[in-house]
Amino acid sequence: MPTPHHPSSAVQRALRALGADLRDARKRRELPMQIVAERAFTSRSTLQRVESGDPSVSIGIYAAVMQALGLLDGLGTLADINNDPVGKILASAALPKRVHLKSRSIRP
């Protein structure tokens, strides 16, 4: 039996915002829920849960809805190093202070 997960309020806010953005994208495209649900291979009720930011819906369903709306490319850039200033700082801090060339032994 899986352990119950209670996401933090920051996670809940982010998922609600994502759901609202997906709902707005669907409406801008003038697509009914049933059509987007069919294109995402899910049910209308699950799409409603996605659009409300339900954390118990799998990321795969969120990705399928994004694909149905033509927004899937944005998912691949979420954790990209170019969008991760902390990761860039940590990577820079891990660089060596000095770089030494390895000496080659010369054979006659």
Q: Is residue 47 part of a domain?
A: yes
Q: Using an 8 Å Cβ cutoff, are 32 and 39 in contact?
A: no
Q: Is residue 53 part of a domain?
A: yes
The end-to-end CA distance of the chain, in Å, is: 70
Q: Is residue 4 part of a domain?
A: no
Buried-state track 51-80, b at ≥16 Cβ within 10 A, e below 16? bebbeebeeebbebbbebbeeeeeeeeeee
* The model's pTM: 0.77
Domain count, the chain: 1
Q: Is residue 2 part of a domain?
A: no
Tens-binned pLDDT, residue by residue, of the chain (108 aa) = 555 678 999 999 999 999 999 999 999 999 999 999 999 999 999 999 999 999 999 999 999 999 999 999 988 888 888 888 898 888 888 888 888 888 776 666
Q: Is residue 106 part of a domain?
A: no
Q: What is the CATH number of the domain that holds 74?
A: 1.10.260.40
Q: Is residue 3 part of a domain?
A: no
Instruction: Give the range of the structural domain holding residue 86, as residue numbers without chain letter.
Output: 9-93
